[in-house]
């Protein structure tokens, strides 16, 4: 049976964690009666992160949040351009059960993955040049390999 973990806050301002159902006391001042429950977690790792965040001074917290947001933006930006392995995976995802790849299905898969470069037309063109797909109709291709 999984137990819950509590994020607790003491009257002295210290946040700490404890397993639900246990008698908790503040790790800073030892207080055990004037403690409030701030959040409940099922994963102790998430509780650990919440305790760390709750005890950070607001200035440091804002700085860390800004750096994390910048890191996320950079990751999203690098994802705009797909690598060869990702393109192959997206091509396969875009292929239906008959082995037919359409420009529309490729476009949808690229949008789902957040890829803007190269374009669906460029990808199909590269695949045709490499002999991986062959055009069977307008905006439709079949795999050769």
Q: Give Cβ neighbours of residue 3 (< 8 Å, ≥ 6 apart).
A: 19, 20, 21
71 with 30, same domain: the answer is yes
Domain boundary among 78, 96, 122: 78
- Integer Cα distance of 105 and 124 in angstroms: 12
Q: What is the tally of structural domains in the chain?
A: 2
Given a cut of 90, whether residue 29 has pLDDT beyond it is: yes
Given a cut of 70, whether residue 49 has pLDDT beyond it is: yes
Which tens digits make up the pLDDT trace of 54-85?
Answer: 999 888 888 888 888 877 776 665 555 678 88
Given a cut of 90, whether residue 134 has pLDDT beyond it is: yes
Number of residues written out for the chain: 145
* Predicted pLDDT of residue 79: 55
10 with 62, same domain: the answer is yes
63 with 99, same domain: the answer is no
For residues 19-36, give the mean pLDDT: 91
Which tens digits make up the pLDDT trace of 88-129?
Answer: 899 999 999 888 999 999 999 998 888 888 899 999 999 999
For residues 132-139, give the mean pLDDT: 93
Domain boundary among 78, 93, 108: 78
111 with 72, same domain: the answer is no
Q: The domain containing residue 73 runs over which residues? A: 5-78
39 with 63, same domain: the answer is yes
Q: Give the pLDDT band of residue 4 (cuts 50, 70, 90).
A: very high
29 with 48, same domain: the answer is yes
Given a cut of 70, whether residue 2 has pLDDT beyond it is: no
CA distances (Å), 32 to each of 23, 24, 100, 123, 138, in order? Answer: 8, 6, 66, 63, 73
């Amino acid at each position: 049976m999984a137990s819950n973990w509590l994020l607790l806050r003491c009257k002295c301002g210290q946040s700490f964690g404890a397993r639900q159902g246990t008698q908790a006391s503040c790790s800073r001042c030892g207080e055990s009666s004037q403690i409030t429950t701030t959040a409940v977690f099922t994963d102790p790792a998430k509780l650990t992160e919440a305790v760390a965040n709750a005890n950070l001074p607001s200035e440091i917290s804002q700085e860390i949040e800004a750096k994390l947001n910048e890191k996320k933006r950079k990751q999203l930006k690098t994802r705009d351009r797909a690598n060869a392995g990702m393109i192959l995976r997206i091509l396969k995802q875009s292929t239906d059960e008959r082995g037919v790849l359409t420009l529309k299905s490729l476009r949808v898969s690229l949008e789902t993955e957040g890829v803007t470069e190269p374009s669906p037309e460029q990808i199909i063109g590269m695949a045709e040049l490499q002999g991986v797909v062959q055009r069977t109709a307008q905006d439709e291709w079949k795999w050769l390999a």
